[in-house]
Structure 1
Amino acid sequence: MSQQFQPPAPSSYTEAAAPAPARSGNVGLGILAAVVAALVAAGAYGGIMHAIERQVGYAAVGVGLLVGLAAGKLGGRNPVLPVASAVLSLGAVYAGQLFFTALVVADVNHVGLADVLDKVGIGGLNDLWKESSDVLDYVFLAIGGFVSFGAAKKAAA
C-alpha cells in the first residue's frame, strides 16, 4: 500500500509579506538637506567649542551624524549621497573650527564677531587656523567625514 502525499490545507500557512520597495529618493533634496544640516552643525560645533574652550571629538561625531542622517533620510539610497555628505561634513567641521577661531579672536580683542569677519576675513581666519592647528584638528575632520558617510548609508537603508 502506498500512501499519497497530501499538501497542507491552504489555510494552514501564511504567505511572506512582499519586500518593501527600495526607496530611490531624491538626490537633490538629500544634498540640500545635508547642506542645511552642515551649516547648522558648523555653527553648533564652533559654539560648543567656544563655550567649553576646547575641542571635543563627540561634537565632530555629532556633525557627521547630523549631515549623514539628513542626506540619507531625505535623499534615499543614491550612492552619491554618502560621498556628498562626507565632503559636506568635512566642510562643516572645518567651518565650525573657523567659527570657533573667530569667536576667540572677538573675545581676545573685545570686539564683535562682525568686526572680526570684516577686518580679519575668512582668509585671515584660515591663516590663524593653520598656524594653531594640530593633529587633533585633522583627526576631527576625518572623524566627521567617516561618521557622515556611514550615517548616510544606514539612514537610507
Structure 2
Amino acid sequence: MSQNFQPPAPSPYTEAPAPAPARRGNVGLGIVAAVVAALIAAAAYGGIMNAIDREVGYAAVGVGLLVGLAAGKIGGRNPVLPVVAAVLALGAVYLGQMFYIALMTAEIANVGVVDVLDKVGVAGLNDVWKKATDFMSFVFFGIGAFVAFGAAKKASD
C-alpha cells in the first residue's frame, strides 16, 4: 500500500498582520484634548444661551459630555483624567456664561464682542456675572462637572 502523500499547496494569500493597537493612554494628550474641547464647548454654550436668551441644562450636559469624552477617549484609563475633565467642565461652563454676557452686552450696545472685551474687560464681565448668577447657575456647574467625570470614566473603558 503506497500512498503518494503530497502536502497541501501553499496559499497564495498571506495572513494579514495584526492591527496596530489604538493609541490611547496618553494622559498629556488627553488633557490637551480636554482643554480644546472645553474652549469649544464654552463658545458653543455661550452661543446657545445667547440664541435662546437663557441657560439650559441640556447645554451644560453637552459641555460635560464633550470635555469628558475628549479626555477619556484620548487619555485612556488614568484615574486623574475624570477629575481634570470635571474641573475643565466647570471652567467651560463659567467661560460659556461669561461669553453669553459678552454677546448680550455687545448686542445691547450694538458693538462687537471684541469691543466689549476691550472696553469692559474680563473683570467688568465678571462683575456682571457675579450679579447675574443665581442658584440655577451653580446647578449647571454641577451638571457639567458630573457629566464630564462620568463621560471620561466611561470613554476610557
Confirm or deny: 8 A CA contact 2:24 2:73 kept in the other structure: no
Q: Which residue of 2 aligns with 1:112?
A: 112
What's 2:101 paired with?
101
Structure 2 CA distance for aligned equivalents of residues 121 and 86 of structure 1: 27
Within a 5 Å distance, the mapping from 1:41-120 to structure 2 comes to: 41-120=41-120
Paired amino acid for 2:45: Y
Distance 1:61 1:36 in 2: 17
1:124-135 matched pairs, under 5 angstroms: 124-135=124-135
Residue 24 of structure 1 and its aligned partner are, at CA, apart by: 6.6
User: 1:98-155: CA deviations, max 9, x gaps?
Assistant: 0000001111111111110001111110100000110011100110001000000000
2:82–2:153: 8 Å Cα contact kept in structure 1? Answer: yes
Deviations 1:20-66 (A, max 9, x none): x9x87010010000000000000000000000111110000000000
How much is the aligned-residue C-alpha RMSD, in angstroms? Answer: 1.3
- 1:142 is aligned to 142
Match of 2:106, SS state, is helix
Give the TM-score taking structure 2 as reference length. Answer: 0.84
In structure 2, distance between residues paired with 1:24 and 1:77: 9
| 8 Å Cα contact 1:24/1:78 also seen in 2 | no
Name the TM-score, length of structure 1 as normaliser: 0.84
> How much does 1:95 deviate?
0.1
Give 5+ residue unaligned stretches, structure 1: 1-20
Structure-1 separation of matches of 2:81 and 2:75: 7
Q: How far apart, CA to CA, are the structure 2 residues paired with 1:85 and 1:151?
A: 9
Helix, strand or coil at the partner of 2:45: helix
Secondary structure, counterpart of 2:78 in structure 1: coil
Partner of 2:15: none
SS at match of 1:145: helix
The amino acid of 1:98's aligned partner reads: M
Output the CA distance in 2 between the equivalents of 1:113 and 1:137: 22
Q: What letter is aligned with 1:144? A: G
Question: What is the percent sequence identity of the aligned residues?
Answer: 71
| Matched residues, number | 136
Amino acid at match of 2:80: V
Unaligned runs of 5+ in 2: 1-20
Tell me which residue corresponds to 2:18.
Answer: none
